[in-house]
Amino acid sequence: METLEKSTADSRRGWIVVSATCVTLCVVYGAWYSFSVFLVAFLREFGWSRSVIAGAFSAFVLVHGSVAPIIGWLARRFGPRRLIMAGGCVMGFGLLLTAGTTRWWHLYLAYSGITAIGFSMAGWIPAVVLVGGWFPRRVATALGITSVGIGVGISGLVPLAQFLIDLCGWRWTLRLLAALIVGWVLPATACFIREPAAPEAFGPRPEPQPVSVVTGPGAYWTLAAAARGWRFWGLAGSFFTGNLVTQMLLVHQVAYLVDHGVSPLTAATVGGLVGLVSIAGKVGWGVLSDRSGRELAYSLAYGCAAGSIGILVLAGWYPTSNLPYVYAVLIGIGYGVTAPVPPAAASDLFGGPGFSMIYGTLYVAICLGIASGAWGAGKIFDVTGSYAAALWVAFAMAVLSPILLWVVAPRRPNPPPNSR
């Protein structure tokens, strides 16, 4: 009876952690995706080139990814709770500095540097470690629910940021975002977030192992051991190609549609609809992958992404049809898989006390995919005057990414090495 009561209490506490982390992701990712509306404000204020301003976002992503292994180590050393609280403060400070921008390098230092580091400390990696520690056997389901906050941030805070810019200007909007982040992250993390009782439990779902496999006591995966195996690099390749597809489409979808005669209002509505639909995708793919396997869920999701590319082309041919909305539904569903399944697949293969550093390093591949997709499509357009070649690249990567995951096979994890 006592054990049952403790299990119920732990489950309740775990879902409180999930709920609080979901809202935290909403506010921090709301600041991430709001850059698109600040870009327009910076153009009007300073008259800088688009490459200079867009370059600040690319630098933000690269800095965010480059510190990911360190963030993974810090999450293991000090716990994700402390890391999230410190990250909220750093991110708020960075946004306050960004509000004082008068030169292009101010933007790069404050936003691409300080804010990016704060985002890494308060964002996805500590969330994965925290939620995974509470729900080690339902990690994809729990992360899918947690990542709903990202979709809410896209669909809610981005329009709010535009409203505030029109109301009080971009500088005060950045200050208000900083106040929102610090005002939520600090008290909410202190009151509602608790470290998992046994973070070492984070790992693969129970699978029968061959009787001939013997591992030493206390053996677990380390970053060095994981990086010596081909599965680590195959997983990194799958993450890179998958995020290249989704971010290429998300960043350039509005420009593509407007270039092909879709009204700016319709194109903007498509962007908001993608965020809303992705909420269902994040939860649905997480639940499916826990029940039916990571590979199946990932393949179906990228089938939707590949299909969305064809619909996007058709939408360019028939700009007054409902095809742009069909595209939004397909890419929103497909994009949703990028939150719950990659960390769950990584935990299946490399779970244990060293997971935070391993996933933090794999996260570099995710950020490289994001940056490459966003920059690569723009470069292709500058050279060719069309997005056609970029869409073919996206389609090829949408096919390749799930193939790589099937080859890596998180459904068949290897035992960890015998020594630490």
Q: Are residues 147 and 233 in the same domain?
A: no
Residue 144 CA: distances (Å) to CA of 4, 257, 376: 26, 29, 29
pLDDT, position 415: 79
The yes-or-no verdict on residue 419 having pLDDT over 50 is no
CATH code for the domain in which residue 294 is found: 1.20.1250.20
pLDDT, position 98: 96
* Cα torsion angle, 276, 277, 278, 279, sign: positive
Confirm whether 252 is domain-assigned. Answer: yes
pLDDT, position 61: 87
Question: From CA 405, how far away is CA 280, in angstroms rounded?
Answer: 22
Q: Are residues 248 and 396 in the same domain?
A: yes
356, 223 Cβ separation under 8 angstroms: no
Within 10 angstroms of residue 55's Cβ, the number of other Cβ atoms is 17
Q: Are residues 157 and 271 in the same domain?
A: no
The yes-or-no verdict on residue 57 having pLDDT over 50 is yes
Domain count for the chain, please give it: 2
292, 411 Cβ separation under 8 angstroms: no
- Please name which of 337, 163, 316 lies closest in space to residue 253, comparing C-alpha atoms: 316
Q: What is the pLDDT of residues 369-404, one digit of tens each?
A: 988 887 788 888 888 888 899 999 999 999 999 999
Question: From CA 287, how far away is CA 325, in angstroms rounded?
Answer: 25
Q: Are residues 290 and 370 in the same domain?
A: yes
Q: What is the pLDDT of residues 3-54, one digit of tens each?
A: 544 456 567 888 999 999 999 999 998 888 788 778 778 878 888 876 777 7
Confirm whether 352 is domain-assigned. Answer: yes
Out of 193, 213, 231, pick the residue that ends a domain. Answer: 193
**Residue 258 is part of which domain span?**
223-408
The yes-or-no verdict on residue 92 having pLDDT over 90 is yes
Within 10 angstroms of residue 385's Cβ, the number of other Cβ atoms is 8
Q: Are residues 287 and 381 in the same domain?
A: yes
Q: Are residues 180 and 236 in the same domain?
A: no
Confirm whether 416 is domain-assigned. Answer: no
231, 221 Cβ separation under 8 angstroms: no
Confirm whether 338 is domain-assigned. Answer: yes
Share of the chain above pLDDT 70, in %: 91
Phi then psi for residue 375, to 5 deg, are -75, -40
| Amino acid identity, position 62 | L
Confirm whether 135 is domain-assigned. Answer: yes
What is residue 415's three-state secondary structure? coil
Confirm whether 392 is domain-assigned. Answer: yes
Q: Are residues 246 and 163 in the same domain?
A: no
Q: Are residues 180 and 274 in the same domain?
A: no
Count of residues in the chain: 420
Q: Are residues 282 and 401 in the same domain?
A: yes
Q: Are residues 48 and 174 in the same domain?
A: yes
The residue among 356 and 175 whose pLDDT is bigger is 175
Confirm whether 115 is domain-assigned. Answer: yes
Could you tell me the two tokens for 391?
A: 């869409």
| Amino acid identity, position 231 | R
Q: Are residues 125 and 266 in the same domain?
A: no
Q: What mean pLDDT is predicted for residues 298-307?
A: 96
Confirm whether 213 is domain-assigned. Answer: no
pLDDT, position 210: 36
pLDDT, position 198: 54
Q: Are residues 375 and 316 in the same domain?
A: yes
pLDDT, position 7: 55
Out of 193, 209, 240, pick the residue that ends a domain. Answer: 193
285, 340 Cβ separation under 8 angstroms: yes
